[in-house]
């Protein structure tokens, strides 16, 4: 572990550096903010210990720079003053902890080791998630998956332009979308994904079709839309059911003519792209509730591909678990993980409501926390070994219950204000309204 200490008190940094080196922690010292920033860039420390009050470039100014230029480095703030305001400000700006002088060196050493360990685990998981997000391999040899691969190949040969992917959360709709893209256009062609649930309603149209200078707030230059950026490749519209009705009509027009008009423009443009839409909800029900256009549904549903849940893929659970474990080892994040018969029996019997994504996350965490070896049934999480017997009858009901609970909790903590609740949930207000209508929440 390499720690950079930035503090204008030279005697403190020297004594602290001496104590930390005796604990096998490498230390670098800087006695002003400017030098500290240079050393961050040149020495790449694992953690920064940063004093709040310094002449010249203050600790909060250094923290602001770190948050922008090196957000991956954990920062622990120090201050001789028990200043709650500075502590709150520092935490809001990205500091992971705050200690007041004088402090116990042994407690600081424990904090540094804890911070370094947690940061390493987060880095490992981010690396793995990045790898699997771009992975285009659909692992498995069950009959249902062999049939799915055959259908993907037929769709590629047919050169279909509009495709609808359906299936439960976590089954791999993004992986199938990328398979369709690479088999059709190759890896160099653009693949652009937009999540319709995460963008504000007023922003989706501009993100899709672009906007002229000044047509939307913040557009100081011409804004290129995803339809233009994806030209010659694939536009992947995830959670299509959450697209506002006002934008659905524009999308339908584009699918029928392959022409579009940016926001604030009178000129029409053409874009030669494949549109792949995905949803984990039944669009027929959304059509019946008049929150999704029937004509758009028919246009998208010309080439439907349903991706099966993991519980229906007999024999694939063990294959996937071992594949993820081997991939983690090859990535250098942990030693090789394996499962004995008792663990595999539990994994096969579990219902996997989160599907392949849930299995992948389980293997990743076991590999990092257990650091390799053979996993037995007793080492698996309780919810996997002993799933609740009172769960709803269907997976749709189970997911609805989870979603309903999250929304009710967000509304309670936001005082019933939907805008704040939507922000807490990481979705747009429009998406929240749609989900509340579907779940019967007032």
CB 348 within 8 A of CB 317: yes
Domain that holds residue 404: 395-439
Over residues 334-359, the mean pLDDT reads: 89
The predicted structure's pLDDT at residue 131? 44
Residues 327 and 372 in one domain: yes
Residues 200 and 52 in one domain: no
Q: State the CB neighbour count (10 A cutoff) for residue 228.
A: 19
Residues 148 and 285 in one domain: yes
Choosing from 306, 330, 365, the residue where a domain stops is: 306
- pLDDT above 70 coverage of the chain, percent: 88
CB 49 within 8 A of CB 5: yes
Helices vs strands, H then E, count in the chain: 19, 14
- 429 against 6, higher pLDDT: 6
DSSP 45: -
- 294 against 331, higher pLDDT: 294
Over residues 325-346, the mean pLDDT reads: 81
Choosing from 268, 285, 306, the residue where a domain stops is: 306
Residues 181 and 327 in one domain: no
The Cα 324–Cα 129 span in angstroms is 11
Q: How confident is the model at residue 428 (pLDDT cuts 50, 70, 90)?
A: confident
Domain count, the chain: 4
Beta bridge partner(s), residue 315: none
Concatenated DSSP letters for 72-113? TS-EEEEESS--HHHHHHHHHHT-SEEEESS--HHHHHHHHH
Residues 374 and 416 in one domain: no
The two tokens of residue 305 are 């591909």
The pLDDT mean for the chain works out to: 85
Closest CA to 250 of 241, 239, 238, 263: 263
The Cα 294–Cα 308 span in angstroms is 25
Choosing from 385, 406, 423, the residue where a domain stops is: 385
Query: Does residue 47 lie in a domain region?
Result: yes
Residues 381 and 399 in one domain: no
pLDDT digits 0-9 by tens, 388-411: 644 445 666 667 777 877 887 787
Residues 271 and 184 in one domain: yes
Query: Does residue 327 lie in a domain region?
Result: yes
Residues 150 and 16 in one domain: no
In the chain the first and final C-alpha atoms are separated, in Å, by 52
The predicted structure's pLDDT at residue 410? 82
CB 172 within 8 A of CB 138: yes
Residues 150 and 203 in one domain: yes
The predicted structure's pLDDT at residue 130? 44
The Cα 387–Cα 380 span in angstroms is 12
Query: Does residue 48 lie in a domain region?
Result: yes
Please, what's the b/e burial string for 299-309 (b: 16 or more CB within 10 A of its CB; e: otherwise)?
Answer: bbeebebebbb
Q: State the CB neighbour count (10 A cutoff) for residue 213.
A: 11
The predicted structure's pLDDT at residue 214? 78
Over residues 94-117, the mean pLDDT reads: 88
Pairing state of beta strands 191-195 and 234-238? parallel
Query: Does residue 324 lie in a domain region?
Result: yes
Query: Does residue 7 lie in a domain region?
Result: yes
Query: Does residue 112 lie in a domain region?
Result: yes
Closest CA to 54 of 81, 91, 74, 22: 81
**The CATH number of the domain where 377 resides is what?**
1.10.8.60
Over residues 18-23, the mean pLDDT reads: 92
Residues 123 and 31 in one domain: yes
**The CATH number of the domain where 424 resides is what?**
1.10.10
Over residues 184-202, the mean pLDDT reads: 85
Residue 58 has pLDDT above 50, yes or no: yes
Residues 188 and 283 in one domain: yes
Length of the chain: 442
Query: Does residue 137 lie in a domain region?
Result: no
CA 180 to chain centre: 22
Max mean pLDDT range (8-12, 219-223, 334-338):
8-12
**The CATH number of the domain where 203 resides is what?**
3.40.50.300
Quote the pTM value. Answer: 0.59
**The CATH number of the domain where 53 resides is what?**
3.40.50.2300
Over residues 84-107, the mean pLDDT reads: 84
Query: Does residue 136 lie in a domain region?
Result: no
The Cα 270–Cα 143 span in angstroms is 41
Residues 159 and 124 in one domain: no
CB 69 within 8 A of CB 31: no
């Amino acid at each position: 572990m390499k720690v950079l200490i930035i503090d204008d008190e030279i005697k403190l940094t020297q004594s602290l550096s001496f104590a930390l080196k005796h604990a096998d922690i490498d230390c670098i010292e800087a006695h002003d903010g400017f030098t500290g920033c240079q050393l961050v860039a040149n020495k790449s420390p694992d953690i920064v210990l940063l004093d709040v009050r310094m002449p010249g470039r203050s600790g909060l100014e250094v923290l602001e720079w770190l948050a922008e230029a090196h957000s991956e480095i954990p920062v622990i703030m120090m201050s001789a003053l028990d200043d709650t305001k500075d502590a709150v400000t520092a935490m809001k700006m990205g500091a992971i902890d705050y200690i007041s002088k004088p402090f116990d060196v042994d407690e600081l050493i424990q904090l540094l080791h804890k911070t370094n360990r947690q940061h390493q685990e987060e880095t490992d998981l981010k690396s793995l998630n990045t790898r699997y997000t771009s992975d285009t391999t659909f692992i498995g040899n069950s009959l249902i998956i062999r049939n799915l691969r055959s259908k993907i190949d037929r769709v590629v040969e047919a050169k279909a332009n509009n495709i609808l992917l359906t299936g439960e959360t976590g089954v791999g709709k993004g992986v199938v979308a990328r398979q369709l893209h690479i088999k059709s256009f190759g890896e160099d062609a653009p693949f652009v994904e937009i999540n319709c649930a995460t963008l504000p309603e007023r922003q989706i149209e501009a993100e899709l079709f672009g906007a002229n200078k000044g047509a939307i707030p913040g557009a100081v230059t011409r804004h290129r839309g995803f339809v233009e950026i994806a030209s010659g490749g694939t536009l992947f519209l995830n959670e299509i059911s959450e697209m506002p009705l006002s934008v659905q009509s524009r999308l339908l027009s584009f699918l029928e003519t392959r022409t579009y008009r940016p926001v604030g423009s009178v000129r029409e443009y053409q874009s030669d792209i494949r549109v792949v839409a995905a949803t984990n909800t039944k669009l027929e029900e959304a059509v019946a509730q008049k929150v999704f256009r029937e004509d758009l549904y028919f246009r998208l549903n010309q080439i439907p591909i349903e991706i099966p849940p993991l519980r229906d893929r007999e024999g694939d659970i063990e294959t996937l678990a071992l594949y993820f474990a081997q991939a983690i080892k090859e990535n250098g994040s942990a030693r090789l993980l394996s499962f004995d018969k008792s663990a595999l029996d539990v994994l096969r019997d579990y219902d996997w409501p989160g599907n392949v994504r849930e299995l992948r996350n389980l293997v990743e965490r076991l590999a990092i926390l257990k650091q390799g070896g053979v996993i037995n049934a007793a080492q698996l999480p309780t919810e996997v070994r002993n799933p609740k017997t009172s769960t709803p009858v269907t997976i749709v009901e189970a997911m609805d219950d989870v979603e309903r609970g999250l929304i009710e909790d967000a509304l309670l903590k936001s005082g019933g204000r939907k805008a704040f609740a939507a922000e807490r949930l990481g979705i747009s207000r429009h998406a929240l309204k749609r989900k509340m209508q579907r779940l019967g929440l007032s």
